[in-house]
A and B are shown apart, each in its own frame.
Chain A
């Protein structure tokens, strides 16, 4: 039986998180179909059709899917699910929102946030903020899975030539309506797909000081992140948060500035390839996992880092 991947997209474009899910689907094995449910979402469907390994794209194009409200999207996926062995979505705020609803309506368990595939019915998922890894087996007829992006490489966005099949929308539930959104606008890469991330914590003292990090970020082509403490203090918006309950990232380089390293923060970034920590407290737990630690005042060291980067570029 085929596998169904639910695309993460913004109607006009396919989101990178979809590509990691396609890779997880490939590891499970079987024909891969991608559902693009959106409004005027043909561009996203066309992008999905080009992803290497995808054999069919289902496009449900209707105004009710513009914001992919959980109630309506789940109803559509439930209708499609009987034809598939596995239904997968990224473990993003969108995937986490609608997929448990699908699982409950099908009366099956959801396997959340898998980081590895052992076999078509057995998966590894982190528990306790990633401080333990559970290998779990599902006996349910349909496996409903969210995929942790950092566990799987991105599939090639090009090379595929899948057909696009238009499908009917499911009736709207009428339970919820979209009101508004305030999305952070940034020219920098998205946190979850950035090659380099520089994050600030409570030690930044205020939001204004994040400009220091932004300057370095722009020299490295990096995204800017934050610890929960910095978000709770109102220095930066919630979508900056890296950690157990925020975004899970694994860039090539993660620079933690003024972050002490609570286990909840480490949970979100400890799989980064190289970790740099800048902190004035040499006992800070972040140093225990950092590949390179610099002890000192960040307000002196970060401008120095910025200047030093100019020299090597």
Chain B
């Protein structure tokens, strides 16, 4: 069985982002980028399926500028077999990403597609669900456990009240949550090996997908700053302030 994983290159989770002065977006020049953390979990899960003998091949897709190839290489170093790079410098919104992935699924025929539950840049949390809809497949979002069986996959989902387990008909889409696994660090020999693994390049035009944005960003601003930083000397003083100054208890 083939597993397809989609990965996104995003501003690293440790970077404190800055809004551009002209309010058109956030500063991305000279900023560290890395693989979206939830997508790392997706890659790890796929590689584990291969190591367990359940998956026969792990294909990694990334959509984005030339540097997205580095993100694909990271996934290959973790153990994925080959990559597909959909090259574009344009902003690609979740619906367009889902359409591109649908076109790739048509070529690749995977049994399982694993993606991160959300990208930490736009925080949309849409792509997996949209891809499932476009393909008419089942979906297991926010997964903390994935158990493949014959023709179905049981997915345990992190929901607001706790955990929920659903049984999905294969082929299916799974989106990963934090507790699904702990992604490995690629070893140096595997990083070297990954350099030799193939990455196919393609484009939205070649896949026949219109990726024009549906949402127009009018402006991006910084949120109001909180005035914090006050300290109190004791718990007695804290309780007094909460009662008599803030009046919240």
Contact = CB atoms under 8 A, between A and B. Distances in A.
Partners in one complex: yes
Interface of A: 67, 69-71, 74, 92-94, 96-105, 107-113, 122, 126-140, 173-184, 192, 196, 220, 228, 231-232, 237-239, 244-245, 247, 252-253, 263-264, 270, 273-276, 282, 287-295, 301, 304-305, 308-309, 311-312
B158 A93 contact: yes
B218 A239 contact: no
Given A252-B248, A287-B229, A294-B232, A245 B166 contact: no
Given A101-B133, A128-B17, A274 B246 contact: yes
Interface string B197-241: 000000000000000001111111111001011111011101101
Interface stretch (B68-76, B77-85, B103-111, B139-147): B139-147
A60 B139 CA distance: 22
A175 B169 contact: yes
B162 A238 contact: yes
B179 interface: yes
B226 A177 contact: no
A236 to B, nearest CB: 11
B57 interface: no
B134 interface: yes
Contact of A129 (B120, B142, B164): B120
Interface residues of B, number: 80
Interface of B: 11, 13, 16-17, 19, 26, 38, 93-95, 98, 117-118, 120-134, 136-142, 144, 154, 157-169, 177-179, 214-223, 226, 228-232, 234-236, 238-239, 241-243, 246, 248-249
B193 to A, nearest CB: 30
B200 to A, nearest CB: 25
Contacts of A138: 214-216
Contacts of A110: 94-95, 124, 126, 130
Contacts of B162: 181-184, 237-239
A264 B133 CA distance: 29
B249 A294 contact: no
B169 A176 contact: yes
A282 to B, nearest CB: 8
A182 B123 CA distance: 27
A70 B178 contact: no
21 contacts: A70-B139, A97-B141, A100-B129, A104-B95, A109-B95, A109-B214, A110-B130, A128-B121, A175-B137, A178-B164, A181-B165, A238-B144, A238-B163, A253-B242, A274-B246, A276-B238, A289-B228, A290-B228, A293-B230, A294-B234, A308-B239
